[in-house]
Structure 1
Amino acid sequence: MTSRSYFLAGAALLTLIATPAFAAEAPAAAAEDPAFAPEDQTSIGTGQRDDEVITVTARRRQETSQDVPLAISVVGGEHIDSTGSFNVGRLQQLTPTLQFYSSNPRNTAVNIRGLGVPFGLTNDGIEQGVGIYVDDVYNSRVASATFDFLDVAQVEVLRGPQGTLYGKNTTAGAINITTRQPTFDFEGRAEISLGNYGFKQAKAAVSGPLTETLAARVALSTTSRRGTIYNVTTNRWIQSQDNLGLRGQLLFKPSEAFNLTLAADFSEQDAVCCGSVFVRTGTTQRATNRQFAALAAAQGYAVPSLNPFARVTDLDAALQAGNKIGGVSLKANWDVGPGTLTSVTAWRFWDWRPQNDRDFTGLPIVTRSQNPSQQDQYTQELRFNYSGDGLDFVVGAFGFHQRIDTQGTEAHGSASTRWNLAPTNALYNSNVLDGLTARNTQYLKNTSLALFGQASWKVTPEITLQPGVRLNYDKKDGFYQRRVFTGTGTEIVIGGPSSAVTTAQLAIFTPQTIAPKFSDWNFSYDFTASYKATRDVLLYATYAKTFKSGGINQNGVPVDAANNPILAAATVKPESVDHYELGVKTEFLDRRAILNVSLFRTDIKDYQANVNNGQFGVLRGYLANAGAVRSQGLEWDFSVRPSERFNAFVNGAYTDATYRKFTDAPCPPELSGGTSSPANCDISGQRLPGVSKWSFSFGAEGNVPAQLLGKSGEVYLGYDGSYRSNFSSNPTPSRYTWVDGYSLSNFRVGFRTEEGFDIYGWVRNAFKKDYFEQLFVGPGNTGLIAGLPGDPRTWGATVRAVF
């Protein structure tokens, strides 16, 4: 379908949707009734029962979400708490086009509409395409935003490019998290949850005045849970939770025209994590005696269970996922008469301490795999916001500097030689690979500067034109060095003495030193036209031209026949993005119902793809540019509250995200490993990894008046569910790594009062659905497929009080 026919179809669809809404305009009496005011509606698409005013800051100013010409989902804090969505990973069950994948905190991807972060092992040399903001502070790495939500007021998921105002390469969208702020009236909240698998969670927050001009707020949370996979080698449960979060804020407000907020937070995760289970094997192009079954039999090895949902593993390497995140920010707002001047200054840190088992088996093949990292990030944003009768605008500047240091170690054990060398090799029965160790040192210095602006010109009371621009400069300086040592501690160098032994060792780990650099300017712009057809119908159309900064390979690059690094692969080009969107936002049934629909298409040239190498230690994965990618589809958010006793929501998305041109992609495992296997494959037209064509979230809640323990309130029953169709769990689609579609159902029943007391029981994954979050291709093209099962059925109870 051409661009023109695509938008003609979209315009026709919007016309059909908007037509009944014209007739559904609320009568004057309803419009004057505060119960039906738009700000008292439930959060868009969640059906939640929040009585707070629902406003958003998607355009860096307070306004109701129905007035914003943008595809946006808003989830309020109360709904986050009641549905157990205590982190970004859980949030995806409420927002269909948000995808979250995590094999451990560092290797985490957050995508919107199938775009954002290359699927696979993390490479620090590129940016994420989904910006994550907490109280206006940018979190530059997805891994640094894997904390539990702490005292959150609401979360906005902005879909589509946000490069004008949110910048820093937000080509897929942004997640805007707002926490509860200090108050000059004393208030507090406390919550305790207990459940199966030893689940314990406690949250508390208190806020109030210290003086007439100074207020404070302190919040904490702690979460722990036993693991869901049993390791028969260590006799321990893995995939546990052990999280701690703290946040403190001071608000200085000497006048109505000025306020200053100092905030500090700290989050620590120290789980026994992260592992996998055996899922299946698939035939590759290797010789039969080099396939997984023959390799395992040769060493007398058998997997602990052929049923992945027995949740049993035998990983023999140490597992650890220590994660510390925190920082300090200072935010000032100053009403200077014609507008508001805002300054946000922040420092954030991230300390990652991992240990992994990268062979996915109980054999001592890879006995140590770890890449601890430390990050420091500094940001400064200044912006001026003006609102007038006919014109609103925001202008500003943004500065960013980041340093990441990583120290990696990967070591092979006693089973490595016979696993990696053919039986015909004279060294097959030796131990030449036992103790072989690679030590990696790398750093990244990343600097970015930007000027931006966006205006909303009200041509008439009904028509608004919104242009936006951003000028961005990015500079990256990197360093990567791999040194290789034998089991006796002798260093192996390129050009040194050559022998059959060193040839075998260099096939596993190749020494390499590179110092890639990248710098570039880019100019992003967008234009949105909106039409307020009636009080309750908003139509809009958007075009955006934006970029994701180019990058550098921080995990090493491929080598030539002489084992020299191919320096042309050290950098990757910027992504160039063209985005088109049509949308309609409607309210009807006396504003008791909301239906928002968006039709979108995003074309990307030089898409930054993650390329995984099949060998054990040659590369952990490197970056390359695919020729072109397209994501297009349809989304809708529907919520209804016919009375105070019932509300419901149904959100959905159809996403068609494919490689339009990728002729030199890595081949899937079924075409890899043989002497005549192709060096690369053409996967043009195939689906991007992690993308379900169909995804839905839905739910409802009903209540009746009741009394409990002498308190008047209501008994309620709530349900929320989600469905997603199948998706590929490998950068190149493989018949071995398609994850079947699945549906999850969660229930809650409880009693609450208007004073803020709430007690309820809950069950999640109520029907005990077996499903995978991810599948992994084992190294070496042996045909091994490992996986990460999703959570089993969990249940528990929560008591919450607000005072």
Structure 2
Amino acid sequence: MTMKTIRLAATASVLPFAALFASTAFAQAPVPADAAPAEQAADAGAAGPGDIVVTARRREESAQGVPIALSVLDGKTLDGTGAFNVARLQQLQPAIQFYSSNPRNSAINIRGLGAPFGLTNDGIEQGVGFYVDGVYIGRIGVATMDFIDVERLEVLRGPQGTLYGKNTTSGALNITTRKPSFTPEGQAEFSVGNYHFVQAKASVSGPLSDKLAVRLSASGTRRDGTVLNTSGLDLHRQDNVGARAIVLWKPTDTLDFSLSGDFNVQNPLCCVQYYARTVPNAKYTALANGIGYKPASLNPFDRVTDLDAESNSRQEIGGASLVSNWDFGPATLTSVTAYRYWDWKPKNDRDFVGLPITTISQNPSQQRQFSQELRIASNGKNTIDYTFGAYFFTQAINTQGSQVQGSRASYWLLSAYANNVLTVGANAANPAVLNGLTSTNAIRLSNQSAAIYGKLNWAVNDRLHIQPGLRLNYDKKTGSYNSVVSINNGTYNYSITAAQAAVYANNAAQNPVTGATSPINQVTGTAVPLAVYRDQVKTLAPLYYTPTFSDWNLSGDVNVSYDFSRDIHAYATYAYSFKSGGINLSGIPFAADNVTPDYTKQTVAPEKVNHYEIGLKTQWLDKRLTINLAGYWTDISDYQTTVNGQAVSTIRGYLANADKVRSRGGEFDTSFRPSDRLSLYFNGAYTDAEYVRFTNAPCPPEKSGTCDISGQVLPGVSKWSFSYGGEVNLPVGAGEGQIYAGYDGNYRSRFSSNPSPSQYMYINGYSLSNFRLGYREGTKLNIFAWVRNAFDENYFELLTSQSGSTGLIIGQPADPRTWGLTVKTSF
């Protein structure tokens, strides 16, 4: 049995600003084992056996002949490898890094670049664009939803600003779901596994008339948690439900409309981080010993914890979009109109230990976004092809933050520690000083972005193509952060705003009304003792500021490609790109007096990106062997990063600009099908990403103050990353029956899990192995058993540090070994 051509209609996906023609096409991906032959084509770039075919320039052509580093995973590959959400995608794609402490605090990076590593700050853009059926998703937390009825997933590497709705400096992920069919069809899938894992997926499609078709899809996932709390609850559960509907209307052969809507709810008990290790001579150790506290286990891979606050990550995701395409001969006009919403309702134990220190630290949030894209792209194969478009995006985020200190907060946060000696003063020994101290935060963001773009593809001759592109962009962000601090525990009772706190900023000025130098206790009518007030405001200070940012930006790229033959293609790209400036919406730091806000930290400057890339795409042995290579160098000025000075008042960290960052490296993608019974792949990435110059970075937890971390590595980036595997099959009977066995493995070398590298916050390298064994009959039936993380590798997804400079390192362990059985049928 030979391979078939996988036809990827890039125009149907309708990426915002992605009229994916010559310069943005698709790279080689693994070919399904049950593929069939394609017709041979004579010209370079045409489809042959084993090729992925794109219609990005309104004609079928091989992805191998189109110049960009891109990987494609079809729905079958995603299902077979168990990659049912983005979190598992990095196991298949070496250039991707995905990190998540919970759905909202998630980041997708490509080649080490994209979003700051750490807790989310809504005031900045993503560097990696995330799209579902052509619609840009404004917050990466939405990416954690289960994949529903996916046709393919595309990973583009490098800047994509001249053809995408939102500018993306390091790449893009595009999910295309299956479209309605005018032939009745359906699919159903059911999986069970350990930890009481149950997952069901189903979709049906068919015509409502000769011009109208519909597709309905649904998915549900449940699983017990992999971490046990001493309270008896299991944590890190999965509990996801989603549905999608698409209606396709084709009034003529040249005009079509797709109206889609989706709804997803996730209600898991996750995500938790707990004791992993401590730095030497840590304040944490002295504090814990001072009250006889011990965590549930000193081995985090015992998977037990004693967190004493609720944990949950409930989110509701939904939206609707209308995509229209009109082919009027020389060109096609496309419109994408979309509305999306996201409601986030978290619960966290943000002190990470089984003590009532910070009993609440959460930021429930509601996002609404609207986007409109218009694009015109030439049809056919011309000497000069073009794409022109306009894009508008608006977003509003409303967040209600809160942080509450508990009865152990005074001892934990106010005790002094110097020269390995713990000193517990009078206020530290008095629980009432901080017990119930509360910061209530109202946070708002209004974000507008508009752009026009254009890209040309000049065919100098049959082999040489030059493709320049330009983008003019305007961004405006306005926000507000208003934190009111209160305490009401019977001993101390008052509420204070930022304006009121400013009266006492130097702790000497008198309130003109009361004549006091500190707030008035509403119960006793007397001023709160000055030493007590100082410790309270040092812990949680009232804060109010209204940051704004707006700017125009002109960026562009040029790509030159040359086809040496039908099977050997080379390209070179230069891109000048940018990521919009941002505003700090997670609080800003205070000056040394702990009462004066540092208003210079309200905004961060735009990132400026210079990107260089070369690539070579080749196929051999009648296209059964594919070898693709890419090398790149990316320089970023004013790199946007999250920093945390370990102050309790900025528990989520704040944004800052590092002077200069560089990422450089190489990638290879290979696949080999020596026979119809065996397919193999081996992909790899070498990523050298570092701070070229960052002289005033916050120090890692084992130090204090600011540090020069120039020349040190960026967080979250493994220098070496590989994915590898294959599948073998044997025929059964005279029909389409096959017994098959598959293996997928990946390896990542160690990486830093802190913005400022710390020897105590590196995650060691690890390798994972996934196996599957099954029986299938074409597309009608597929039954297979699977095991993931087969050798039960213990590793952390991330490490972070407890606020307050205690020296405690907490971690989030990845899933242990899981196994199960999947049955899938099509009709």
- What is the TM-score with the length of structure 1 in the denominator? 0.92
C-alpha deviations, 1:112-162, integer Å up to 9, x for none?
Answer: 000000001100010000001111100011112221111000011000000
Q: In the superposition, relative to structure 1, how do residues 334 and 36 fare at CA in structure 2: closer, same or farther (>3 Å)?
A: closer
Could you tell which deviates more after superposition, 684-693 or 772-781? 772-781
C-alpha deviations, 1:174-197, integer Å up to 9, x for none?
Answer: 001111000100111000000000
Question: Take 1:48 and 1:111, find their aligned partners in 2: how far apart are those partners?
Answer: 27
Question: Take 2:812 and 2:236, find their aligned partners in 1: how far apart are those partners?
Answer: 10
Question: Take 2:61 and 2:136, find their aligned partners in 1: how far apart are those partners?
Answer: 21
User: Which residue is 1:430 aligned to?
Assistant: 430
Q: In the superposition, relative to structure 1, how do residues 165 and 63 fare at CA in structure 2: closer, same or farther (>3 Å)?
A: farther
Question: Take 1:395 and 1:81, find their aligned partners in 2: how far apart are those partners?
Answer: 36
Q: Is the 8 A contact 1:47 1:649 kept in 2?
A: no
Q: Is the 8 A contact 2:105 2:141 kept in 1?
A: yes
Question: Take 1:702 and 1:35, find their aligned partners in 2: how far apart are those partners?
Answer: 14
Question: What does 1:64-83 correspond to in 2, within 5 Å?
Answer: 64-83=62-81
Could you tell which deviates more after superposition, 52-61 or 164-173? 52-61
SS at match of 2:412: helix
Please report how far the alpha carbon of residue 583 of structure 1 lies from its aligned counterpart in structure 2 after TM superposition.
Answer: 0.1
Question: Take 1:370 and 1:60, find their aligned partners in 2: how far apart are those partners?
Answer: 48
Q: Which amino acid aligns with 2:142?
A: S
User: Which residue is 1:668 aligned to?
Assistant: 700
User: Which residue is 2:756 aligned to?
Assistant: 732
User: Which residue is 2:475 aligned to?
Assistant: 474
Question: Take 2:60 and 2:757, find their aligned partners in 1: how far apart are those partners?
Answer: 43
User: Which residue is 1:718 aligned to?
Assistant: 742
Question: Take 1:793 and 1:758, find their aligned partners in 2: how far apart are those partners?
Answer: 23
Q: Which amino acid aligns with 2:494?
A: T
Please report how far the alpha carbon of residue 300 of structure 1 lies from its aligned counterpart in structure 2 after TM superposition.
Answer: 2.1
Q: Which amino acid aligns with 1:591?
A: K
Q: Which amino acid aligns with 1:245?
A: G
Q: Which amino acid aligns with 2:121?
A: N
Q: In the superposition, relative to structure 1, how do residues 278 and 659 fare at CA in structure 2: closer, same or farther (>3 Å)?
A: same
Question: Take 2:405 and 2:6, find their aligned partners in 1: how far apart are those partners?
Answer: 62
Q: In the superposition, relative to structure 1, how do residues 589 and 400 fare at CA in structure 2: closer, same or farther (>3 Å)?
A: same
Q: Is the 8 A contact 2:694 2:710 kept in 1?
A: yes
Question: What does 1:555-566 correspond to in 2, within 5 Å?
Answer: 555-561=586-592, 563-566=595-598
Q: Is the 8 A contact 2:2 2:35 kept in 1?
A: no
Q: Which amino acid aligns with 2:427?
A: L
Matching residue within 473, 489, 494 for 1:490: 494
Q: Which amino acid aligns with 2:278?
A: T
C-alpha deviations, 1:376-395, integer Å up to 9, x for none?
Answer: 00000000010333222111
1:302 aligns with 2:294: yes
SS at match of 1:558: coil
Please report how far the alpha carbon of residue 486 of structure 1 lies from its aligned counterpart in structure 2 after TM superposition.
Answer: 1.2
Matching residue within 387, 394, 408 for 2:387: 394
Question: Take 1:123 and 1:156, find their aligned partners in 2: how far apart are those partners?
Answer: 26
1:240 aligns with 2:237: yes
1:527 aligns with 2:558: yes
C-alpha deviations, 1:645-690, integer Å up to 9, x for none?
Answer: 1101000000000000000111011112xxxxxx310000000000
Q: Which amino acid aligns with 1:716?
A: Y
Question: Take 1:660 and 1:167, find their aligned partners in 2: how far apart are those partners?
Answer: 30
Matching residue within 407, 422, 428 for 2:400: 407
User: Which residue is 1:634 aligned to?
Assistant: 666
Q: Is the 8 A contact 1:514 1:556 kept in 2?
A: no
User: Which residue is 1:162 aligned to?
Assistant: 160
Matching residue within 563, 579, 592 for 1:548: 579
SS at match of 1:206: strand
1:364 aligns with 2:356: yes
Question: Take 1:409 and 1:476, find their aligned partners in 2: how far apart are those partners?
Answer: 23
Question: Take 1:526 and 1:780, find their aligned partners in 2: how far apart are those partners?
Answer: 45
User: Which residue is 2:709 aligned to?
Assistant: 683
C-alpha deviations, 1:753-790, integer Å up to 9, x for none?
Answer: 12420000000001111111101111111111110111
Q: In the superposition, relative to structure 1, how do residues 219 and 50 fare at CA in structure 2: closer, same or farther (>3 Å)?
A: farther
Q: Which amino acid aligns with 1:389?
A: N
C-alpha deviations, 1:345-394, integer Å up to 9, x for none?
Answer: 00000100001111110000011111000000000000001033322211
Question: Take 2:165 and 2:141, find their aligned partners in 1: how far apart are those partners?
Answer: 19
Question: Take 1:635 and 1:136, find their aligned partners in 2: how far apart are those partners?
Answer: 27
Please report how far the alpha carbon of residue 712 of structure 1 lies from its aligned counterpart in structure 2 after TM superposition.
Answer: 4.7
Question: What does 1:345-360 correspond to in 2, within 5 Å?
Answer: 345-360=337-352
Q: Is the 8 A contact 1:36 1:590 kept in 2?
A: no
Q: Is the 8 A contact 1:154 1:178 kept in 2?
A: yes
C-alpha deviations, 1:544-598, integer Å up to 9, x for none?
Answer: 0000000001112122345222222111100000000000011111011111100
Question: Take 1:321 and 1:38, find their aligned partners in 2: how far apart are those partners?
Answer: 38
Could you tell which deviates more after superposition, 486-495 or 609-618? 486-495
Unaligned runs of 5+ in 2: 9-25, 37-50, 416-422, 505-516, 519-529
C-alpha deviations, 1:718-747, integer Å up to 9, x for none?
Answer: 000000000000011001100000000000
Question: Take 2:30 and 2:355, find their aligned partners in 1: how far apart are those partners?
Answer: 47
Question: What does 1:100-119 correspond to in 2, within 5 Å?
Answer: 100-119=98-117
Question: Take 1:504 and 1:175, find their aligned partners in 2: how far apart are those partners?
Answer: 47
C-alpha deviations, 1:413-438, integer Å up to 9, x for none?
Answer: 11111111223422122121000100
Q: Which amino acid aligns with 1:147?
A: M
SS at match of 2:535: helix
Q: Which amino acid aligns with 2:477?
A: K
Question: Take 1:482 and 1:140, find their aligned partners in 2: how far apart are those partners?
Answer: 25
Question: Take 1:60 and 1:236, find their aligned partners in 2: how far apart are those partners?
Answer: 55
1:647 aligns with 2:679: yes
User: Which residue is 1:574 aligned to?
Assistant: 606
Unaligned runs of 5+ in 1: 1-32, 673-678
User: Which residue is 2:727 aligned to?
Assistant: 701
User: Which residue is 2:303 aligned to?
Assistant: 311
Q: Which amino acid aligns with 2:455?
A: Q
User: Which residue is 2:133 aligned to?
Assistant: 135
SS at match of 1:591: coil
Q: Is the 8 A contact 1:225 1:241 kept in 2?
A: yes
Q: In the superposition, relative to structure 1, how do residues 78 and 35 fare at CA in structure 2: closer, same or farther (>3 Å)?
A: closer
User: Which residue is 1:193 aligned to?
Assistant: 191
Q: In the superposition, relative to structure 1, how do residues 201 and 36 fare at CA in structure 2: closer, same or farther (>3 Å)?
A: closer
Please report how far the alpha carbon of residue 511 of structure 1 lies from its aligned counterpart in structure 2 after TM superposition.
Answer: 0.6
User: Which residue is 1:44 aligned to?
Assistant: 28
Q: Is the 8 A contact 1:120 1:612 kept in 2?
A: no
Please report how far the alpha carbon of residue 802 of structure 1 lies from its aligned counterpart in structure 2 after TM superposition.
Answer: 1.1
Please report how far the alpha carbon of residue 283 of structure 1 lies from its aligned counterpart in structure 2 after TM superposition.
Answer: 2.6
Please report how far the alpha carbon of residue 50 of structure 1 lies from its aligned counterpart in structure 2 after TM superposition.
Answer: 6.2
Q: In the superposition, relative to structure 1, how do residues 573 and 770 fare at CA in structure 2: closer, same or farther (>3 Å)?
A: same
SS at match of 1:617: helix
User: Which residue is 2:274 aligned to?
Assistant: 277
Q: Is the 8 A contact 1:417 1:433 kept in 2?
A: yes
Question: Take 1:107 and 1:127, find their aligned partners in 2: how far apart are those partners?
Answer: 14
Q: Which amino acid aligns with 2:69?
A: A
SS at match of 1:781: coil
Q: Is the 8 A contact 2:644 2:650 kept in 1?
A: no
Question: What does 1:751-770 correspond to in 2, within 5 Å?
Answer: 751-770=775-794
Q: In the superposition, relative to structure 1, how do residues 197 and 38 fare at CA in structure 2: closer, same or farther (>3 Å)?
A: closer
Q: Which amino acid aligns with 2:695?
A: T
Q: Which amino acid aligns with 2:652?
A: R
SS at match of 2:168: coil
User: Which residue is 2:121 aligned to?
Assistant: 123
Please report how far the alpha carbon of residue 36 of structure 1 lies from its aligned counterpart in structure 2 after TM superposition.
Answer: 7.2
Question: Take 2:176 and 2:223, find their aligned partners in 1: how far apart are those partners?
Answer: 26
Q: Which amino acid aligns with 1:428?
A: A
Q: In the superposition, relative to structure 1, how do residues 536 and 618 fare at CA in structure 2: closer, same or farther (>3 Å)?
A: closer
Alignment: residue pair count: 756
Q: Is the 8 A contact 2:34 2:778 kept in 1?
A: no
Could you tell which deviates more after superposition, 577-586 or 555-564? 555-564
Please report how far the alpha carbon of residue 618 of structure 1 lies from its aligned counterpart in structure 2 after TM superposition.
Answer: 3.6
1:380 aligns with 2:377: no
Q: Is the 8 A contact 2:3 2:31 kept in 1?
A: no
RMSD: 1.8
Question: Take 2:650 and 2:769, find their aligned partners in 1: how far apart are those partners?
Answer: 43
Q: In the superposition, relative to structure 1, how do residues 262 and 303 fare at CA in structure 2: closer, same or farther (>3 Å)?
A: same
Question: Take 2:186 and 2:86, find their aligned partners in 1: how far apart are those partners?
Answer: 24
Question: Take 1:558 and 1:177, find their aligned partners in 2: how far apart are those partners?
Answer: 38
Q: Is the 8 A contact 1:215 1:252 kept in 2?
A: yes
Please report how far the alpha carbon of residue 78 of structure 1 lies from its aligned counterpart in structure 2 after TM superposition.
Answer: 0.2
Please report how far the alpha carbon of residue 43 of structure 1 lies from its aligned counterpart in structure 2 after TM superposition.
Answer: 7.9
SS at match of 2:320: strand
Could you tell which deviates more after superposition, 688-697 or 416-425? 416-425
- What is the TM-score with the length of structure 2 in the denominator? 0.89
Q: Is the 8 A contact 2:295 2:306 kept in 1?
A: yes
